[in-house]
A and B are shown apart, each in its own frame.
Chain A
Amino acid sequence: MPEELQKDPLTRGQFLYMGAVGTMMGLALTVPPAFFIMDPALKATIFNRSDIPHVWREIGSIFEVPSGEATAFRVTFPQKQTYDSGGPNSRVGSLTETALASWHDGKIPDLVKKRSEGATFSKSEVRTLEKNINVMSNACTHMGCPVRWDSVHHQIVCPCHGGIYTINGMHVGGPPPHGLWRYVFRIREDGIIEVRHKWVQGTPWIV
């Protein structure tokens, strides 16, 4: 144990040397780890790459959508994230979500009423159908709780904080900032609705 402290003077050279080596070591030990941790954030926000590849997935046929109600369809997307991204001996993950489908204001267009199950629609008919159907995600825009159809009051209700949406997914009451997220979807000739893991209003995160 040295008896008392010895304070030698610090020359300019020593100070500059220590400063330079110190910063280099600091950079080497902080910049790569930062990128290491921020990798998904960079990919998601800057390069807009999503974990889910651009694929169309079927959710159901328009004949299954009843009038005056929003029904839930389960849809499964392939998900490539960390160890589920299809390496040599690993599988591709999957993410199952629910899409709520409902006719505009609950009224089935007469186009569909006349056609039976197997019939096919022309291009223009498909376009009118796409305008008259709402395909929305079931995550509440406030805090992401699963919303559900409340047949008593004919509205879509979020159980967490009392958010209320109309049958078209428009925001009516409660804390949610805006209406439900609307899927990017298309309708095939034989009336099957196909959905992509992309939303009209942007990225809702979580879902």
Chain B
Amino acid sequence: MAEIKRGQAKPAEEEEEEIITEDNVFEHYDEPQGFFPNQVMADLTVSFALLVITIILAYAVPADLVEPMDISTTDYVPRPEWFFFFLDQWLIYFPGAALVAFGDIAMPIIFAIVLFAIPWLDREPAYSPARRPYMVVLGFLVITAIVLNLFLSMVRILNFPGGSPAG
């Protein structure tokens, strides 16, 4: 069993001037840092902040519990969760039997497949966003489309008579 040496680690010998070639440029970072003290510290603070937010929200805004499920209601206005608002708005663009199937199942599946295939769609060697305008612009367009749909559906829901406080 190799004898475990204790005490001071061997000083790192002077690295001879390394020739940076095309493929080993991304081997080392410019400013590496140990994972344990530094990154873990940052992770801890972010996680702690998230924990505090959840606890505050848990007490400030208790998770709601509306009246029990009852199909035979005539005055309840069902709403999707906030993260499906954009899909709800997407539903409105595709009325009618054929279009609902297309807009509701085909499009999300295509979106998922494209999402899975991004590494094979984006073959540009450059990493920084400035060097790959197509992918970044496409990504930005998709994100704005989703966010805009989210707001559109939120405004529509807020302005439904039953939906808003003063309506």
Contacts and interface: CB of A to CB of B under 8 A. Distances in A.
The answer to whether A and B interact is yes
Interface of A: 72, 74-75, 95-98, 138-139, 142-143, 145-146, 148, 159-162, 174-178, 207
Contact of A175 (B70, B72, B94): B94
Most buried by A among B72, B73, B88, B160: B72
B71 A97 contact: yes
A96 B97 contact: no
B74 A72 contact: yes
Interface of B: 70-78, 88, 91-92, 94-97, 100, 160, 162
B97 A145 contact: no
Majority secondary structure, A binding face: loop
A74 B162 contact: no
Majority secondary structure, B binding face: loop
A138 to B, nearest CB: 6
A190 to B, nearest CB: 24
A162 to B, nearest CB: 7
A142 B96 CA distance: 8
Contacts of B73: 98, 146
A67 B73 CA distance: 22
A161 B91 contact: yes
Contacts of B70: 96
Contacts of B77: 145, 159-160
A142 B100 contact: yes
A1 to B, nearest CB: 14
Contact of B71 (A98, A162, A177, A178): A98
